[in-house]
Structure 1
Amino acid sequence: MSISSAIVSARSGLDAIGARADLVATNVANASTPGYVRRALTVSETILGAQTAGVQIEGIDRSTNARLTGERRLLASDYAQAEIMSASWASLSQRIGEDIESSTLFQRLNSFETALRDAALSPESTTHANQVVQSAKDLVTEFNALGNLLTERRFQADQDIAGSVEIVNASLREVADLNRSLASIDRTSPQAAALFDERGRVLDRISEHISIQTFERDSGAIDVLTTEGVYLVAGPAREIEFTPTNSMAADFSLAGGELSGLTVDGVDITPGAPTFGAVSSGSLAALFTLRDTDLPNLQNQLDTMAQDMIDRFADPAIDPTLLVGDPGLFLDSNSAAGVGIAGRLQINSLVDPAQGGASWRLRDGLGAVTQGNPG
């Protein structure tokens, strides 16, 4: 080997060592950077005239495992779903109460029952009668508050769905843009490594909202699908369509048409829908479960309790002055509305002095015209 060849060979080796040192420094500096994938230098032997003439840098290799990355993203989707459900129910439990002792609703039911017993033992007492009215009003206030709370939570879930859809759609467009950028450069270059990392971060972001799978093409571009098989990126990005509601009422529902589902190019991917493409994981799945299933079920339980209060005190067997169909101590301010009784529950104005009524009607009957003998 000539002196000049030896110098060239040595210089190529030094260049490779320097490039590898730079990569090591970059790896160390980005050890805690989210989405960063460790790089390694790929080199090969240079052969000139059947002789070794040093080394040449082939490119940069990213240490990735596509299968493990896919599994991690699926777990991230499940975690995001569980986190939203857990936080939502923890908040509701704190407000409603986890048991009878900690529930404001049951505490007020207990106070109402105590006031009724006291009034029954002292029917002549105006004070006890007024306590019944006040405890009934307190109970109604709690029913109303809980009914309104559930409606507000459903509205917030709908708004959060809109926010998630916006994030996912923007991220899908980013993936399509990164695909185009990667197709136009050397995939072993430092620039490509940075773009691959960025695309990975974007995919991680998407997976928090909706579970996905990816397939890499020869060009370095990837297709993005839901785990159920609906394409989200195949060349250009596809749009997830959702229309948020401007308001929420207790009887609003997806089936009734007041609330929106999710579609992609006309394919229904709404979580919980009886379709092959229904999304089953991620924050979107949790938010739809809250909006369309769990919170309405809780509303139904609350409405059942409120309706039971209405029916019990409207029974002519309890108050002979009432005719069948007459409202009793409690009433629904809009009985034709159906769902949402808890939020519409009211006390009958006939017994409420604040509304021109009289508490003595609790003793003499709501249909009584004049006050009877208190003895």
Structure 2
Amino acid sequence: MTDLIALGAAGVRAYARGLEVVGDNVANAESPGYVRRTITPASARAGPGTPLSRDLASAGGVDPGIATRAYDALKAKAARNAGGDAARLDARADWLTRLQATVGGDTARLDGALGGFYDGAQDLAANPRSTAARTIFLDRADQAAAAFRGAAESIDGLQSDLAAATEAATSEVNGLTTSLAAVNVELKRASGSRTTGGAAANALLDERDRLLAALSGFVRIGVTEGKGGVVTVTAGDGPAAPALVDGGTATRIAVRDGANGAELVLDPGHDARAIRLPASGTLSGLIEAARAGREILASLDTLAARFAEAANSIHAGGVDATGADGGTLFATRSLGVVPGAANAGDASVRVEIADGATLGDGYVLRRAGSGWMLARADGSGTVSGTATLTLDGVTVTPGAGARDGDSFALVARDGAGGIALRPLSAAQVAVSARWLGDGAASNAGTGRLTVTLDDSAAGLPAIGAYALRATAGGFDVLDTGGAVLGSYPTGAAVAGAGFSFRVDGAPAVGDTFRIVRAGASSADSGTVRDLLASRDVGIEDDLDATVAGLASRLSETLRLGEAASALASDAKRAQDAVSGVDLDAEAAELTRLQAAYKASAQVMATARALFDELLAVAR
């Protein structure tokens, strides 16, 4: 009779434990990382006899067993990998969208500014002596340079935000690996205790899997599970992949874009070792987006350099309103101010660069006591003072609020970030060509004179004007006094004095031409016409192609991202089918366990009633 009571009691305990597990599942159905628990009751082994009871030959009822997690390692790995691939493309798409918005707006302004520059040149070519047209041309040139700088500054700002996001993601990775190492330590303790497989161990395993899933969202990982659920985590899943977590030890990381692509730097503060960053996870997406930003900025730098080089070369070959040779139109190098990362103060710095200053590799400004020190980046020259400092034509004025030890790097900027209009007056705009050539109105032949600026040419004496007179099969070059300086055949290229020329066609004997150096207030607009012709080099077309290329890259990323998200959802559903909590299934299990619990309780009640009847008969 006592055996019957013991059997009922064992059933009550077993099914009560089952009801607890179902309750836990229902309560944690929405808890992130929770894995469904199950128990599998089994027949309890017979117990040994005692002085008051015989040795049991039959089973000892129901053993509730321990709660186990419904976990499939292969499905968990597939979900981690698919999620990491989707996270990579999501991060890349997010930042490429921001980059496109930034570049699209800036390049629209830049495109308009370049169009305005050439429109100003067109107006100036039509009115070469107009001071107003010269002033408007300079203003349009300044707007074009400012548009290049604005685009570069916007991309630089976005790149700084990307760098901050990458650093934050790296910190999260280091936090996750540290937490995983701590969980490994706790799992080792649990595996050696009498509660192995109990609620505490299961909770640790849930936390382990949650951390692994979060980590795989940042970087592709390989996971090897050992005794008690302790895991070794590697960067990538290849056989030679380096360990990020090994037992209770976590290796810190950093990321960078190396010469051969994105790199993961292991233990950057001590024994730094770079490996290729697996192409999965948010870190990879951030690096790829940053690389795209640098490529766009490099494209803008190239376009700005081409624009400035063409404009400067053409402008320098002309003559301004005073009769002087034209100079460069745009400066192509400036200084960007980068505050030191450890600055404790909030001072700002104003920088002015003298026209024609040679900036070298940049400068360093440092606060020392109550004064400042400005030094070249290579340390070859310094100046000190308490207020405004000037070195190599660079004038630096620090603002208030600095602390001792604060520093600022004055970084040399070329390309789009360095272009600026030089401080020119309207009279210094070179509109006319330096050398002018024409033929007499009375010429009877079809000869054509072409004069080209050539600073290296030195074939004729340097005088202000030359006369050409056609002869049979050629022509003579005369000075202002009529003396013959040389005779040349028709069609031959002739070196002058700072220019070269040729006469083509069929001039009639006696036809005359002249070559004259332009003087002050010339009505010629040859230099500006050459500037307009340089528009054909395709800078605006290349700018449009750069924006179109970015849009194409973003579109491809979004397309791949949709496919990766679908795969990640499928993999997660497959994992949840095994590990997730289905409330309908739990409700059915609850009903079954309640019935079994009641049945076991009824066995105990029946045994007790029979026992009471037997006692009554004995009395």
- With the shorter chain as reference, the TM-score category is 0.7 to 0.9
**Secondary structure in structure 2 of the residue aligned to 1:51:** coil
What is the aligned counterpart of 1:361 among 415, 422, 429? 429
2:319 aligns with 321
1:342 aligns with 416
2:273 aligns with 267
Matched, 1:159 2:154: no
CA deviation after TM superposition for structure 1 residue 340, in Å: 3.9
- Quote the Cα distance in structure 1 between the aligned partners of 2:24 and 2:156: 51
Percent identity between the two aligned chains: 22
CA deviation after TM superposition for structure 1 residue 139, in Å: 1.8
Kept in 2, the 8 Å contact 1:300–1:339? The answer is no
- 1:85-119, CA deviations, whole angstroms, 9 ceiling, x for partnerless residues? 11111111112118x9x722212222222222233
- Quote the Cα distance in structure 1 between the aligned partners of 2:413 and 2:89: 28
- 1:116-166, CA deviations, whole angstroms, 9 ceiling, x for partnerless residues? 223323334444333322222222112112212333333333333332222
Name the aligned partner's letter for residue 9 of structure 1.
L
Task: Classify 1:327/1:361 alpha carbon distance in 2 versus 1 (closer, same or farther; 3 Å).
Answer: closer
Larger Rg: 2
- Quote the Cα distance in structure 2 between the aligned partners of 1:5 and 1:226: 58
1:172 aligns with 177
What is the aligned counterpart of 1:237 among 232, 249, 269? 249
1:215-294 superposed matches below 5 A: 215-227=224-236, 228=238, 229-242=241-254, 262-264=265-267, 266-271=272-277, 279-291=278-290, 293-294=291-292
1:249 aligns with none
- RMSD (Å) for aligned C-alpha atoms: 3.2
Kept in 2, the 8 Å contact 1:39–1:61? The answer is yes
Kept in 2, the 8 Å contact 1:364–1:371? The answer is no
CA deviation after TM superposition for structure 1 residue 13, in Å: 1.3
Name the aligned partner's letter for residue 47 of structure 1.
R
CA deviation after TM superposition for structure 1 residue 280, in Å: 2.6
Kept in 2, the 8 Å contact 1:307–1:341? The answer is yes
Gaps of 5+ in 1: 245-252, 272-278, 351-356
- 1:5-51, CA deviations, whole angstroms, 9 ceiling, x for partnerless residues? 22221122122222222222221222222111111113211132332
1:12 aligns with 10
Name the aligned partner's letter for residue 521 of structure 2.
G
Task: Classify 1:365/1:87 alpha carbon distance in 2 versus 1 (closer, same or farther; 3 Å).
Answer: farther
1:274 aligns with none
Matched, 1:69 2:59: no
Mean CA deviation greater in 105-114 or 84-93 = 105-114
- Quote the Cα distance in structure 1 between the aligned partners of 2:149 and 2:139: 15
Task: Classify 1:212/1:63 alpha carbon distance in 2 versus 1 (closer, same or farther; 3 Å).
Answer: same
2:197 aligns with 188
Name the aligned partner's letter for residue 250 of structure 2.
R
- Quote the Cα distance in structure 1 between the aligned partners of 2:22 and 2:327: 80
- Quote the Cα distance in structure 2 between the aligned partners of 1:132 and 1:89: 36
1:134 aligns with 139
**Secondary structure in structure 1 of the residue aligned to 2:295:** helix
- 1:204-230, CA deviations, whole angstroms, 9 ceiling, x for partnerless residues? 221121111111112321111111411
Query: If each structure's helix is expressed as a fraction of its own residues, which one has the higher value?
Result: 1
Gaps of 5+ in 2: 47-55, 335-358, 362-411, 435-516, 525-619
Kept in 2, the 8 Å contact 1:187–1:220? The answer is no
Count matched residues.
343
Name the aligned partner's letter for residue 103 of structure 1.
A
**Secondary structure in structure 2 of the residue aligned to 1:209:** coil
Kept in 1, the 8 Å contact 2:326–2:430? The answer is no
**Secondary structure in structure 2 of the residue aligned to 1:225:** strand
- Quote the Cα distance in structure 2 between the aligned partners of 1:326 and 1:22: 91
1:113-152 superposed matches below 5 A: 113-152=118-157
Task: Classify 1:243/1:51 alpha carbon distance in 2 versus 1 (closer, same or farther; 3 Å).
Answer: closer
Name the aligned partner's letter for residue 200 of structure 1.
D
Kept in 1, the 8 Å contact 2:188–2:230? The answer is yes
Task: Classify 1:127/1:33 alpha carbon distance in 2 versus 1 (closer, same or farther; 3 Å).
Answer: farther
1:248 aligns with none
- Quote the Cα distance in structure 1 between the aligned partners of 2:206 and 2:26: 16
What is the aligned counterpart of 1:58 among 60, 65, 70? 65
CA deviation after TM superposition for structure 1 residue 303, in Å: 0.8
1:289-304 superposed matches below 5 A: 289-291=288-290, 293-304=291-302
Query: If each structure's strand is expressed as a fraction of its own residues, which one has the higher value?
Result: 2
Task: Classify 1:360/1:189 alpha carbon distance in 2 versus 1 (closer, same or farther; 3 Å).
Answer: same
Task: Classify 1:362/1:23 alpha carbon distance in 2 versus 1 (closer, same or farther; 3 Å).
Answer: farther
CA deviation after TM superposition for structure 1 residue 369, in Å: 12
- Quote the Cα distance in structure 1 between the aligned partners of 2:518 and 2:13: 105
CA deviation after TM superposition for structure 1 residue 266, in Å: 4.1
- Quote the Cα distance in structure 2 between the aligned partners of 1:295 and 1:344: 18
- Quote the Cα distance in structure 1 between the aligned partners of 2:132 and 2:71: 77
- Quote the Cα distance in structure 2 between the aligned partners of 1:116 and 1:332: 20
- Quote the Cα distance in structure 2 between the aligned partners of 1:371 and 1:33: 84
- Quote the Cα distance in structure 2 between the aligned partners of 1:84 and 1:77: 11
Name the aligned partner's letter for residue 429 of structure 2.
R
Kept in 2, the 8 Å contact 1:133–1:359? The answer is no
**Secondary structure in structure 2 of the residue aligned to 1:7:** helix
**Secondary structure in structure 1 of the residue aligned to 2:59:** strand
CA deviation after TM superposition for structure 1 residue 359, in Å: 6.0
Mean CA deviation greater in 334-343 or 294-303 = 334-343
- Quote the Cα distance in structure 1 between the aligned partners of 2:302 and 2:126: 30
Kept in 2, the 8 Å contact 1:176–1:237? The answer is yes
CA deviation after TM superposition for structure 1 residue 310, in Å: 1.0
Kept in 2, the 8 Å contact 1:147–1:340? The answer is no
What is the aligned counterpart of 2:521 among 367, 372, 375? 372
Indicate the structure whose relative CO is greater, using CA pairs within 8 Å and at least 6 residues apart.
2
Task: Classify 1:326/1:22 alpha carbon distance in 2 versus 1 (closer, same or farther; 3 Å).
Answer: farther
- Quote the Cα distance in structure 2 between the aligned partners of 1:173 and 1:243: 17
